[in-house]
């Protein structure tokens, strides 16, 4: 289904609600405004396969731009507004954006990249004036309200968070699928799995430039539900939003769980969460201790999926399945799973290797990077693709992730997975945040180094270092324990919770 269907059936139904201000975009408004914007884009000369870029914080305008692009057969590139101007200009140029839409709050960034993005044909700004940019509302008001005749769907074209280097664009091929096709595999899979429908009230606490929040907002709209958008995640505000808006569904990353769990009990337990029946989490591995604590608090409503911006496959696991197999990210729901050695040899049950998804056809490429595209393909099966995650399958086909291949530490010829060490320390009461990397060592090749942001009012130093190393040794093999701990004020994470270990390594090297 497409939002236009619900605009006809229930025009006043809220499509988007801002959690803090209550600003609401109805389905009738979403339909009309996305049509007007699609007309504007068409008048600027954009045709099927062209790109429109968006640079903004969370706002109802996100859904307008998203659906305008999708209904026009265009690619939409939502840009991380936390990047530096040079990084943003790189993305705008690399994606080939012909139109750039920005929010007034990002005026400084928009001005800073104007001269560095000469291929952009038109620029619009909403919620404030930006020099050199047309007014978004005026552009919509002047555009027509008749939908374009060609209703073949467009797609997002999003850039990775750059945890291991320059961000890369994931580009899905466009086909003849119509906008709102109920058989679109992701809408069908997630819609049925989580019960998205017209009564759904879905809380989005994460930035909409990230693939999961942006796409899930689209999935909910395709099923007629309401998306409640937070301007940014704060643990207390998120719980308040569930109560205030009577949220039924939500999606989180594990760092959000940790921050909510560490709220004082008198603040954490004051809210009525009785409407909340499905809490989805993804994007990063969740320590079993954290997930068990969430089960104890929220009950058996936690669902997990494993996927990537590349969209090459999905695993799913429900509450009871996870409790029976703690640590799993589930069984394949889209694609066929394989675990392989570096040379491509498929590994038996229980052995750790690269995780591949098998599909019937190529489902993505890395834009302007055929070498990286080829590197994601299996040596013998080009339709088996990997995003670099490492794990193993049990005898029932459940996948367990151990880490990313790029993060693996080789010390004295032994493979060590930082995720295992991070999991051991995540819920330590004196640890606010934790990251583990390998640093050069003349004798061992690499040694394990932990970077810790201590909890508030905790004094860093040699005593705390000894305590944390001892804590790890009580839980996992001694050779995996950090050789040292560096204390930092904060760790480089994306707003979606992913550690940017390339920046951490660079900081250590510097």
Task: Tell me, letter by letter, the H, E, C secondary structure of 200-250.
Answer: CEEEECCCCCCHHHHHHHHHHHHCCCEEEECCCCCHHHHHHHHHHHCCCEE
**Pairwise CA distance, residues 376 & 369, whole Å:** 11
Query: How are beta strands 201-204 and 226-229 bridged, if at all?
Result: parallel
Put simply, whether the predicted model's pTM sits higher than 0.75 gets the answer yes
Low-confidence residues in the chain, pLDDT < 70: 1, 161-166, 496, 508-510
**What is the CATH architecture of 408-509?**
2-Layer Sandwich (3.30)
Helix (H) or strand (E) holding 411: strand 409-411
The pLDDT of residue 509? 63
Q: Among candidates 131, 142, 128, 112, which has minimal Cα distance to 44?
A: 142
CATH number of this structure's domain 3-181, picked from the four choices 2.40.37.10, 3.40.50.12780, 3.40.50.800, 3.40.30.10:
3.40.50.12780
Domain ranges of the chain: 3-181, 226-405, 408-509
Cα dist from 187 to 1, 93, 181, 208, 234, whole Å: 9, 30, 9, 18, 28
Please list, in sequence order, all residues whose beta carbon lies within 8 angstroms of the beta carbon of residue 215, skipping any fewer than 6 positions away: 156, 186
Tell me whether the CATH fold assigned to 3-181 matches the one assigned to 226-405.
Answer: yes
**Pairwise CA distance, residues 395 & 257, whole Å:** 30
The pLDDT of residue 164? 47
Contact 256, 50 (CB under 8 A): no
The pLDDT of residue 445? 78
The CATH H-level (homologous superfamily) assignment of domain 226-405 is ANL, N-terminal domain (3.40.50.12780)
């Amino acid at each position: 289904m497409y939002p236009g269907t619900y605009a006809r059936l229930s025009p006043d139904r809220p499509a988007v609600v801002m959690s803090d201000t209550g600003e609401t975009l109805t389905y009738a408004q979403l339909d009309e405004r996305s049509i007007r914007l699609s007309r504007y884009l068409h008048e600027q000369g954009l045709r099927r396969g062209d790109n429109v870029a968006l640079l903004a914080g969370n706002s109802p305008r996100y859904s307008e731009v998203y659906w305008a692009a999708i209904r026009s057969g265009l690619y939409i590139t939502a840009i991380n507004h936390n990047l530096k101007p040079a990084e943003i200009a790189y993305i705008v140029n690399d994606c080939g954006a012909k139109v750039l839409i920005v929010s007034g709050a990002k005026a400084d960034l928009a001005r800073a990249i104007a001269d560095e993005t000469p291929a952009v044909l038109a620029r619009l700004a909403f919620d404030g004036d930006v020099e050199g940019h047309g007014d978004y509302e005026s552009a919509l008001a002047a555009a027509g309200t008749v939908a374009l005749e060609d209703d073949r769907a467009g797609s997002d074209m999003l850039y990775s968070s750059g945890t291991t280097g320059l961000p890369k664009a994931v580009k899905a091929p466009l086909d003849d699928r119509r906008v709102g096709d109920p058989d679109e595999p992701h809408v069908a899979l997630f819609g049925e799995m989580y019960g998205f429908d017209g009564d759904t009230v879905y809380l989005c606490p994460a930035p909409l430039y990230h693939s999961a929040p942006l796409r899930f907002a689209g999935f909910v709209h395709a099923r007629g539900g309401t998306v409640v958008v937070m301007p940014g995640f704060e643990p207390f505000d998120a719980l308040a939003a569930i109560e205030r808006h009577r949220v039924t569904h939500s999606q989180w990353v594990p760092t959000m769980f940790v921050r909510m769990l560490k709220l004082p009990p008198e603040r954490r337990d004051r809210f009525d969460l009785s409407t909340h029946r499905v809490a989805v989490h993804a994007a990063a591995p969740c320590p079993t201790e954290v997930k068990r604590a969430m089960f104890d608090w929220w009950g058996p409503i936690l669902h997990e999926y494993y996927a990537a911006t590349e969209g090459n496959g999905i695993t799913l696991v429900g509450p009871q399945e996870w409790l029976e197999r703690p640590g799993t990210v589930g069984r394949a729901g889209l694609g066929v799973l394989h675990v392989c050695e570096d040379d491509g040899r498929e590994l038996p049950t229980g052995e750790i290797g690269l995780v591949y998804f098998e599909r019937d056809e190529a489902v993505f490429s890395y834009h302007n990077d055929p070498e990286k595209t080829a590197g994601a393909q299996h040596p013998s099966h080009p339709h088996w693709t990997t995003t670099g995650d490492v794990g193993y399958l049990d005898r029932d086909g459940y996948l367990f992730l151990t880490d990313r291949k790029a993060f693996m530490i080789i010390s004295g010829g032994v493979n060590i997975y930082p995720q295992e060490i991070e999991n051991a320390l995540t819920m330590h009461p004196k640890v606010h945040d934790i990251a583990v990397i390998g640093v050069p060592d003349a004798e061992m090749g690499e040694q394990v180094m932990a970077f810790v942001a201590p909890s508030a009012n905790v004094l860093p130093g040699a005593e705390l270092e000894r305590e944390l190393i001892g804590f790890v040794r009580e839980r996992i093999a001694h050779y995996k324990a950090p050789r040292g701990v560096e204390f930092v004020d904060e760790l480089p994470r994306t707003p979606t919770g992913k550690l940017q270990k390339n920046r951490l390594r660079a900081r250590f090297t510097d």
